[in-house]
Amino acid sequence: MKSNATEHVMNLKKHKPSYNLTFTIKRFAYIACLMYLMGMTHSLKTYATHLGKPKIQPDSLSIQDERDHIFSLLAYALVYQDWQGEQVPREKRRGYNIGALLVNEQNEPLAYNLNCITSTNNSTQHAEIRMITKYLEGSHQYNLRNCTVYTTLEPCAMCAGMILMTATKRVVYGQHDIEFSKAFERLAADHRASGGLGPYPRTVQVSPSSIPLCQQLDRQYETFLQSDAEKVLAKFLASESAKSIYQSAHPLLEQFNVLHPENIGIKRVALAFYQKILHSIDK
C-alpha cells in the first residue's frame, strides 16, 4: 500500500500542468499590466514635452489653405532677406518691414515688393502699391483678375482701394494692424438703413492667414503696445522680437509637410521664387 506521502506527491504531479498554466497566466497578466503602465508613462512624457511647443502647421488643411500657408510663409521669408533692423536709424531705412506677394490663378508667384516710404520720401509707397503698379506697368496687364495678394501686414485703406480697383480676386494677410485695420470691411459696410451709403460696388475675398507665425506676431505686438511709450508699428517691425519671428519663415517653409500631392510642385515653385529674389538682392 502506498503511503500518504507518496499519494500526495502523485497528486501534485497530476495537477502540475494546471498549476503551471495558472502561474503562467498570472505572470503574463502582470507583464502586460506593467507594459501598459510604461506605455502610459511614455505617452504622458511625450505629451508634456510637446505641450508648450507651437505647431509648425495644423494637423489638416484644405488644398487652398495649404497653398495659402506656403505663399504666406514665402512673403515673410522674403521680407526677412532685406531686413531693416533697430540698429539702422529710422530716417535711413528703406521703410517698414512689410512685404506683398502677387500670385496668379496657376499658383505662380508673379511679383513681390517691399514698403519703401522712407527711401522714396513718399508716403504712398506701401508694399502693395509698389508691387501692383510695377507689375501692371511691366506686364502690360490691365488688372489683377483671378490673382491673389499675400501681405505680411493687414492692408490699409489706400492699399485696399487699389486692390479693389484692380479686380484682385483674393487677399490673404498676416499680422493684424490694430490701428488701421478692417479697411476692406469698412468699404463693404452697408449704411443705407441709417440713411448712409451702401457698400463699395467691388468686392474681394479677404481672409487672415492661419499660419502660427502670424499669431505669434499679433501676440508680440500686443505685448509691445503695453510696454512701449511710442507705440509705433514701424518700431515693432524693426525690433529683435519681430525679426526672430520673420527669420523662422524660410525654415518653416522648407520644413512644411505638403499633405496634398497637388501642392508639392507649388511648394517647389515657391522655394525657387525665393532663391530668385535672394540672388537679385545679393547682386
DSSP 168: B
Task: Judge whether 128 counts as a catalytic residue.
Answer: yes
CA distance readout (Å), 202 to 77, 92, 180: 31, 38, 20
The most distant pair of C-alpha atoms in the chain lies apart, rounded to whole Å, by 121
Cα–Cα distances in angstroms (integers) from residue 161 to residues 34, 110, 200, in the given order: 66, 20, 10
CA distance 199 to 192: 9
Continuous segment of H or E residues that includes residue 208:
strand 205-208
| Phi (first) and psi of residue 153, to 5 degrees | -135, 145
Catalytic member of 7, 86, 105, 128: 128
User: Of 235, 185, 244, whose CA–CA distance to 217 is shortest?
Assistant: 244
Residue (of 223, 268, 241, 248) closest to 57 by Cα position: 248
Compute the Cα dihedral for 273, 274, 277, 279 and give only its sign. Answer: negative
Check: CB of residue 243 under 8 Å from CB of residue 221: no
Residues tagged active-site: 128
